[in-house]
A and B are shown apart, each in its own frame.
Chain A
């Protein structure tokens, strides 16, 4: 599991690549939170390189988004592949974390 991050204007952009399974979450969860939460910036998360998502990955996304929310920031996901999109929809994760189809749409949603 790999992760990189940068900024697009005032928005934090995080790119995840690999499998958000038990092993992948173990590898990336601490870095993911550290890249997003401390500065409280609005954040977009690129899921286009994520090839697998299950409950451990959902838990990571919820807990990080919650911590960011407490600092006043918003998180929007984008670029989910069909299998990942299916799990996000099935789990109704979009009820609490927006999922955009493109980076531009995600930037529009975080404002």
Chain B
């Protein structure tokens, strides 16, 4: 059931918010099932803490990114100052 243990774990700082959140949700679900080995559970807990911290950082740092579509290209969009 705990997929996280079998799949390769990526470094947390590489994860997007959605990826980190999805993994965190999975870990919480696994821990809430209460199965598995204690050592594995502790390891999952630590990974979960790190994922939650990553999500929090990303939320705090979130800044709307606006790009303009020009043909197939994407260019940065400069907003007019109000």
Genuine A/B complex: no
Residues of B bordering A, CB below 8 Å: none
Residues of A bordering B, CB below 8 Å: none
